[in-house]
Amino acid sequence: MSNPSFRPLIVFSIPVLILLILAFPPVWTTMTGDVIKIKTAPVDPTDLFRGSYVALKYEIESVKPSQVDDSIKTEFNTRNMGDYKKVYVRLKQNTDGLYAVDYVTKEKPGEGVYLKGELEVPYDLQNAKTIQIRYGLDNYFASEEKAKEMEKEALANPSVAVVKVRNGHVVLTDIIIE
């Protein structure tokens, strides 16, 4: 390793290796994940740097306190209100083929369809009617024309997100407007 010609190779290969490691979970999920559908409610913003996209809100982002495991609720205290806690959200398929929240736990489920998420600790612990969870599925990028068309159609018709799921990792692949 004392050879100076290897140093530039090592220096330039480290960032490439880091990028490959970061890209692996989404690529692997897209290639091998299970396809599920989740009900959405889109809004159409435009970002100067990223272009046009459809911002999405999912029904599974709001859960009832009764769906949250007691082990998570006992960790809530006034110190961490507004903080985010890593959780696993187990999903179940409804009769209409869409997936909805079954329960939320801090332990990784052994089987079934589940997502990794971040639960926002509510500010009003005693009176919270819903608890919010983020999954990182907020934006669907499209051309400006397609994003505007999707926005118009979504206001009149319900939309469904098609996602791939594997070991809690999730990748948004398509939006279907019925």
**Over 60: is that where the pLDDT of 147 sits?**
yes
Q: Given this model, what pLDDT does residue 113 score?
A: 92
Which amino acid is it at 7? R
Higher pLDDT, 139 or 135: 135
Amino acid found at 175: I
Other CB atoms within 10 Å distance of the CB of residue 86: 9
Residue 51 pLDDT:
55
pTM of the predicted model, to two decimals?
Answer: 0.71
pLDDT at residue 130 in the model: 87
- State how far Cα 159 lies from the chain centre: 17
- Which pLDDT score, from 0 to 100, does residue 48 have? 47
pLDDT tens digit string along 89-131? 999 999 988 999 999 998 999 888 999 999 888 776 667 788 8
pLDDT value of residue 50: 52
DSSP string, 51-118: EEEEE--BGGGEE-GGGB-HHHHTT--GGGTT-EEEEEEEEEE-TTS-EEEEEEESSPPSSS-EEEEE
User: What is the predicted pLDDT for the residue at 2?
Assistant: 61
Burial class of residue 137 (count of CB atoms within 10 Å of its CB; 0-12, 13-18, 19+):
buried
Contact 44, 54 (CB under 8 A): yes
How large a percentage of the chain has pLDDT more than 70?
A: 75
* Percentage of the chain lying above the pLDDT 90 cut: 12
User: Tens digits of per-residue pLDDT, 40-92?
Assistant: 765 545 554 455 556 677 888 889 888 988 888 777 765 566 688 899 999 99
